[in-house]
Amino acid sequence: MLQSHSGMGGRRGGGAPSLRRVLFCAMLLGFAAIGMSACSSDEDSQLAFQDEPVGKLYNEALSLLAEENYRSAAAKFEDVERQHPYSEWARKAIVMAAFAYYQSRSYEEAIQAAKRYVTLHPGGEDAAYAQFLIAQSYYDQIPDVTRDQQRTESAMEGLREVVRRYPETDYARDARKKLQQASDQLAGKEMEIGRYYLRHNDYVAALNRFKTVVKNYQTSSQIEEALMRLTEAYMAMGITSEAQTATAILGHNYPTSPWYKDAFALLQSGGLEPREDKGSWLSSVWKTATGT
């Protein structure tokens, strides 16, 4: 798992269908489009009023995609929808344009195209993929923990939507993994700020950040350090019962953690032992979150 203190950018296509797979499926559809337009004289007469036949446009887009000329491919897929808005190929072209934009790292355009598909065709066969592509586009833009985490929050929102709407799909399974990594990222941001306040002896501000991790990100990789930092901050403030509680919970759940060893040593330096106060906010929050 990626550590939350490092950047999470550059995740090209993690879990998304490979280009080869998408192109293969799209090529089959493209050839079908050619056959359909060639065999139907009624459609031929309708296409006469259009700029270009739908099969020709669609397959030109596929060729550009195969050549990795992604932005041109996206524009060509958009031509399909614009010139033939009521054809079944217009629907497919929307999600293919989103995919092409994603491959070119044009994330905003990919998001807009995918959202358009989900809005117009929520029950379409590609709706799950379009929703995943929205989340993946945000996910690929997650910055390191020193920067604003709005993209991380947007990624988590999109990933949760994939899990909620398409729980039994491969996209949902991949989304659950990415949710954990994004959660680590947000927890890492809180820890970074909390450590800053702790270094500057602003203990109340530091506590608020570490509390956020304990309350909201208990499954993140940051939880052990967060409990130890709570011990550190409470000891500095002389609130020993809360420090003892934080260390007791840390030791009970992560007895081999190096953070527990540090917290235990800190308590001992003050002549104290880990002891959980059942009336502590920390004890209450932990019990609620873990059901223990």
63 domain-assigned: yes
Distances (CA, A) of 56 to 63, 79, 230: 11, 11, 64
CB crowding 246-278: b at 16 or more within 10 Å, else e: bbbbbbebeeebebbebbbebbeeeebebebee
In a shared domain, residues 91 and 162 = yes
User: At 51, is the pLDDT very low, low, confident or very high (cuts 50, 70, 90)?
Assistant: low
177 in any annotated domain: yes
- Write down the pTM of the prediction: 0.72
If one counts the domains in the chain, the total is: 2
Determine the pLDDT at residue 252: 95
Using alpha carbons, select from 129, 93, 95 the residue that is nearest to residue 110.
95
Q: Count other C-beta atoms under 10 Å from residue 152's C-beta.
A: 25
Question: Can you give the pLDDT at residue 2?
Answer: 34
Same domain, 158 and 213: no
For the four alpha carbons of 82, 84, 86 and 91, in that order, the dihedral sign comes to negative
Angle between helices 127-139 and 107-120 in degrees, nearest 10? 150
Say yes or no to pLDDT of 35 above 50: no
On whether residue 10 sits in a domain, the answer given is: no
Instruction: State how far the Cα of 25 lies from the Cα of 27, in Å rounded to an integer.
Output: 5
The domain boundary residue, chosen from 183, 211, 239: 183
Domain span at 216: 201-290
Same domain, 159 and 57: yes
Looking at residue 88, what is its pLDDT?
86
Reported as a pLDDT band with limits 50, 70 and 90, residue 44 is: very low
CATH of the domain at 54: 1.25.40.10
Higher-pLDDT residue of 159 and 86 is 159
Q: What is the mean pLDDT of the chain?
A: 85
CA of residue 240 relative to chain centroid, distance:
39
Tell me the C-alpha distance between 114 and 96, whole Å.
9
Give the position of tokens 């993994």. Answer: 177
Cβ contacts of 186 within 8 Å, gap of 6 or more: 149, 152, 153, 156, 216, 217, 220
| pLDDT-wise least confident of 42-56, 82-96, 166-180 | 42-56
Q: Are residues 80 and 152 in the same domain?
A: yes
Q: Taking residues 236-249, report their average pLDDT.
A: 96
